């Protein structure tokens, strides 16, 4: 082991004391154990001189505490998840914990395996952004007493603390706004069907249509993944089969991108031919050819909330009473929404 050539034993020998004394002195318990100032100093000096770095591994084994938090996401390179990772990392750091990062690459199979690995490493808590199509393994996790928080794609039937955007309210506001602009045929380019964010958003759309006395149609909901490709294809399909569509609500930035490409190909312009609005704000959203209206998820707050709830669980050893935490989203109206052509 490159790092750990020098152990407590070496320090103790160098200072002419026993390992126990060295351990106590270095742990700042000199007073408590009435170790003489001189002894303490010589121990510290020896440690410094030898470049002693205590082994976290040994410490973990002895104390039965790994000092590790697990963060499991479907794709760290996705800005949403990397923001979550950042917040959890910051919170962990502030408490002297470290973060084990795992990336399931949007595959539930990997998620299951990685989850087991993280538990093997005795993580003291978990923040999981599930892939979202299957939650059996998470139910098991819920039955264990290991502190865990789900973020974003939670499950209605998994009894784990969950932090997610108030997707329903966000989608409601988007749809209401489109209706106010005169739109009646609104296409939804959705993400992965069955996931909590997706279904909540659809519910929000349905509510808004109903409240306006309009009817919701499944025919207007297209797409199957939170990806550029899905956005592109579902947009083309929708334009072909429902030519009177006048507004598009895309469920992610990637999907919006695909839709933009499709619209460009068809020579349609925003907002003159079609209005466009998407979930997920973006630094460049305001500088687009058609400044894009968006629903801005408060990723930082989501991550922070998840981290806090996890820390609370770790400290108290109990799950917080409230299970589902909905973080408000902010609707950002830009000129990509226009009146019905």
In 3D, which of 114, 97, 96 has the Cα closest to residue 105? Answer: 114
CA of residue 188 relative to chain centroid, distance? 23
111 in Cβ contact with 131 (< 8 Å): yes
Which residue stretch of 16-24, 82-90, 212-220, 323-331 sits at the interface with a second copy (rule: CB under 8 A)? 82-90
What single-letter DSSP state applies at residue 28?
Answer: T
Closest to DNA by CB, 59 vs 105, is 59
Q: Establish if 61 lies at the interface with DNA (CB under 7 A).
A: yes
Q: Which does 103 bind (CB under 5 to 8 A by kind): a second copy, DNA, none?
A: a second copy
Residue window 12-31: x/- pattern of binding to DNA, with contact defined by CB under 7 A: ----xxxxxx-xx-xx----
Minimum CB–partner distance for residue 18 and DNA (Å): 3
Residue 15 belongs to what H/E stretch? helix 8-15
181 in Cβ contact with 340 (< 8 Å): yes
Within 271-300, the residues that bind a second copy by CB under 8 A are: 282-285, 287-289
Q: Which does 254 bind (CB under 5 to 8 A by kind): DNA, a second copy, none?
A: a second copy
Minimum CB–partner distance for residue 180 and a second copy (Å): 26
223 in Cβ contact with 249 (< 8 Å): no
What single-letter DSSP state applies at residue 95?
Answer: T
Q: Which does 76 bind (CB under 5 to 8 A by kind): a second copy, DNA, none?
A: a second copy
- The whole-angstrom separation of Cα 318 and Cα 148 is 11
Q: Establish if 4 lies at the interface with DNA (CB under 7 A).
A: yes
336 in Cβ contact with 281 (< 8 Å): no
Q: Which does 9 bind (CB under 5 to 8 A by kind): DNA, a second copy, none?
A: DNA
In 3D, which of 184, 203, 185 has the Cα closest to residue 193? Answer: 203
Minimum CB–partner distance for residue 114 and DNA (Å): 19
Which residue stretch of 34-42, 72-80, 162-170, 174-182 sits at the interface with DNA (rule: CB under 7 A)? 34-42
Paired with 326 in beta bridges are 164
Which residue stretch of 10-18, 108-116, 153-161, 187-195 sits at the interface with a second copy (rule: CB under 8 A)? 108-116
Q: Establish if 119 lies at the interface with DNA (CB under 7 A).
A: no
Backbone angles phi, psi at 102, to 5 degrees: -130, 140
- The whole-angstrom separation of Cα 221 and Cα 207 is 15
> Is 202 strand, coil or helix?
helix
Closest to a second copy by CB, 32 vs 120, is 120
Token representation of residue 335: 């000129």
What is the torsional sign of CA 54, 55, 56, 59? negative
Binding site for a second copy (CB under 8 A): 1-4, 53-58, 60-61, 64-66, 71, 75-77, 79, 82-83, 85-86, 89-90, 93, 98-103, 105, 110, 114, 116-123, 144-146, 228, 253-254, 257, 260, 264, 282-285, 287-289
Binding site for DNA (CB under 7 A): 1, 4, 7-9, 16-21, 23-24, 26-27, 33-36, 39, 52, 54-55, 58-59, 61-64
């Amino acid at each position: 082991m490159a790092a750990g050539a020098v152990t407590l034993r070496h320090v103790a020998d160098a200072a002419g004391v026993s390992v126990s004394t060295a351990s106590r002195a270095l742990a700042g318990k000199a007073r408590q154990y009435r170790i003489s100032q001189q002894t303490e100093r010589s121990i510290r000096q020896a440690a410094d001189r030898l470049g002693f770095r205590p082994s976290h591994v040994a410490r973990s084994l002895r104390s039965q505490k790994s000092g590790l938090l697990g963060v499991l996401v479907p794709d760290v390179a996705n800005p949403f998840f990397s923001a979550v990772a950042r917040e959890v990392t910051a919170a962990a750091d502030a408490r002297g914990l470290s973060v084990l990062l795992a990336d399931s690459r949007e595959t539930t199979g990997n998620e299951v395996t990685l989850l087991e690995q993280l538990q093997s490493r005795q993580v003291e808590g978990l923040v999981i952004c599930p892939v979202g199509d299957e939650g059996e393994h998470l139910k098991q996790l819920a039955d264990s007493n290991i502190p865990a928080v789900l973020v974003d794609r939670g499950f209605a039937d998994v009894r784990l603390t969950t932090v997610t955007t108030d997707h329903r309210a966000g989608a409601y506001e988007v749809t209401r706004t489109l209706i106010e602009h005169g739109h009646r045929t609104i296409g939804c380019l959705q993400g992965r069907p069955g996931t909590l964010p997706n279904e909540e958003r659809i519910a929000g759309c349905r509510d808004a249509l109903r409240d306006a006395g309009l009817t919701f149609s499944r025919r207007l909901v297209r797409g199957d993944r939170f990806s550029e490709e899905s956005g592109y294809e579902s947009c083309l399909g929708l334009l072909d089969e429902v030519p009177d569509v006048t507004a598009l609500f895309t469920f992610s930035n990637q999907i919006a991108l695909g839709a933009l490409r499709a619209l460009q190909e068809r020579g349609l312009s925003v907002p003159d031919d079609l209005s466009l609005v998407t979930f997920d704000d973006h630094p460049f959203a305001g500088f687009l050819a058609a400044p894009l209206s968006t629903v801005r998820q408060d990723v930082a707050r989501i991550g922070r909330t998840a981290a806090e709830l996890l820390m609370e669980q770790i400290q108290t050893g109990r799950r917080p009473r409230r299970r589902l935490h909905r973080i408000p989203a902010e609707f950002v109206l830009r000129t990509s929404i226009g009146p019905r052509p």
